């Protein structure tokens, strides 16, 4: 089945709605346009991305599947479907979707990064680390892949190696709030409290409402004996977790 897309101006106007986060309007206009161009894989991809951003994951997956019925070698649709499947809570299906994207496009670096996240979510940090390493072989300055490899290393029980991975991410991207927060969490595990405080404070300076970093800072301050300030930070925060960073959707 041959893809038949609207002209570039019409497509760009819908893509602009999506990038501006006017998601319901992007979904409505892509759906209306599909009535005129029922074989447009790009429109199905945009509809899928809009549905996914609205947390309507089943509808998103169906849009991507429809795009793939028209264009079976559409790597971006497999990749985006992987994102939706993992966000839906099905990392195993997400991994298969990323693998399919990689069969079509072997150097799809974002697919390796996101597959690493899904593998770690599935409870396989070793495979997650290898997937992140593969992303870094293709793109050595990929800060997100270093961050995600750090999360997997930490989950594997190797906070020292995780710290080195986070530091590498931060060499590439010094203003990486999630990287600073994750570094703080790993330092905290090793009882390096002063360094952990500095990392959490840096994360908060970059992202003022970063509740996870605020909560992590509160825990470290309590450990240091600074009870009043520590409890205050804990009240502001919402629990300390490590941040995986997924690559965004491909809209083209």
- What per-residue confidence (pLDDT) applies to 239? 56
- What per-residue confidence (pLDDT) applies to 100? 98
Q: Which residue has the tokens 């020292």?
A: 160
- What per-residue confidence (pLDDT) applies to 243? 53
Residue 209 has pLDDT above 90, yes or no: no
Contact between 34 and 40 (Cβ < 8 Å) = yes
Q: Topology of domain 108-252, per CATH?
A: 1.25.40
Q: Where are the domains of the chain?
A: 108-252
pLDDT tens per residue across span 107-159: 999 999 999 999 999 999 999 999 999 999 999 999 999 999 999 999 999 99
- What per-residue confidence (pLDDT) applies to 244? 56
Average pLDDT of the segment spanning 222-231: 75
Residue 248: which pLDDT band, with cuts at 50, 70 and 90? Answer: low
Q: Which residue has the tokens 């050595």?
A: 140
Residue 6: which pLDDT band, with cuts at 50, 70 and 90? Answer: confident
**Terminal-to-terminal C-alpha distance of the chain:** 19
* Residue partners of 116: CB distance under 8 A and separation at least 6: 128, 129, 131, 132, 135, 145, 148, 149, 152
pLDDT tens per residue across span 46-97: 999 999 999 999 999 999 999 999 999 999 999 999 999 999 999 999 999 9
- What per-residue confidence (pLDDT) applies to 94? 97
- What per-residue confidence (pLDDT) applies to 120? 94
- What per-residue confidence (pLDDT) applies to 99? 98
Nearest C-alpha neighbor of 113 from the set 97, 126, 91, 129? 129
Q: Return d(Cα 53, Cα 191) in angstroms, integer.
A: 38
Q: Return d(Cα 219, Cα 199) in angstroms, integer.
A: 13
Kindly state the percentage of the chain with pLDDT values over 90.
Answer: 75
Residue 219 has pLDDT above 60, yes or no: yes
Contact between 20 and 56 (Cβ < 8 Å) = no
Helices 91-104, 109-121: inter-axial angle, 10-degree rounding: 160
Is the dihedral angle over the CA atoms 73, 79, 80, 82 positive or is it negative? positive
Residue 35: which pLDDT band, with cuts at 50, 70 and 90? Answer: very high
Contact between 241 and 214 (Cβ < 8 Å) = no
Average pLDDT of the segment spanning 208-235: 81
* Residue partners of 84: CB distance under 8 A and separation at least 6: 48, 51, 52, 57, 60, 61, 64
Contact between 47 and 41 (Cβ < 8 Å) = no
Q: What's the alpha-carbon Rg for the chain, to the nearest Å?
A: 20
* Residue partners of 196: CB distance under 8 A and separation at least 6: 184, 185, 187, 188, 216, 220
Residue 231: which pLDDT band, with cuts at 50, 70 and 90? Answer: confident
What DSSP string runs through 192-228?
-HHHHHHHHHHHHHHSTT-HHHHHHHHHHHHHHT-HH
Give CA separation, 57 vs 6, 16, 180, in Å. Answer: 25, 21, 31
Q: Compute the mean pLDDT over every residue in the chain, rounded to the nearest whole number.
A: 90
- What per-residue confidence (pLDDT) applies to 237? 63
Q: Return d(Cα 185, Cα 45) in angstroms, integer.
A: 37
Residue 10: which pLDDT band, with cuts at 50, 70 and 90? Answer: confident
């Amino acid at each position: 089945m041959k893809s038949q897309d609207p002209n570039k101006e019409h497509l760009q106007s819908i893509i602009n709605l999506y990038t501006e986060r006017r998601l319901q309007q992007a979904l409505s206009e892509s759906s209306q346009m599909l009535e005129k161009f029922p074989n447009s894989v790009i429109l199905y991809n945009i509809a899928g991305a809009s549905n996914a951003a609205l947390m309507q994951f089943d509808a998103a997956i169906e849009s991507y599947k429809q795009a793939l019925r028209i264009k079976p070698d559409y790597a971006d649709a497999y990749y985006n479907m992987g994102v939706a499947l993992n966000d839906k809570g099905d990392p195993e299906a997400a991994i298969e979707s990323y693998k399919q994207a990689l069969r079509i496009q072997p150097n799809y670096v974002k697919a390796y990064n996101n597959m690493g996240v899904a593998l770690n979510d599935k409870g396989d940090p070793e495979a997650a680390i290898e997937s992140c390493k593969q992303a870094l072989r293709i793109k050595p300055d990929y800060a997100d892949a270093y961050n995600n490899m750090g999360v997997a290393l930490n989950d594997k029980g190797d906070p020292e190696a995780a710290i080195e991975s986070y530091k590498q991410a931060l060499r590439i991207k010094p203003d990486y709030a999630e990287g600073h927060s994750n570094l703080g969490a790993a330092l905290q595990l090793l009882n390096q409290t002063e360094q952990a405080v500095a990392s959490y404070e840096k994360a908060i300076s970059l992202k003022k409402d970063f509740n996870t970093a605020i909560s992590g800072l509160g825990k470290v301050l309590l450990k240091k004996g600074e009870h009043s300030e520590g409890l205050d930070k804990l009240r502001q925060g919402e629990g300390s977790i490590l941040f995986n960073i997924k690559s965004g959707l491909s809209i083209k």
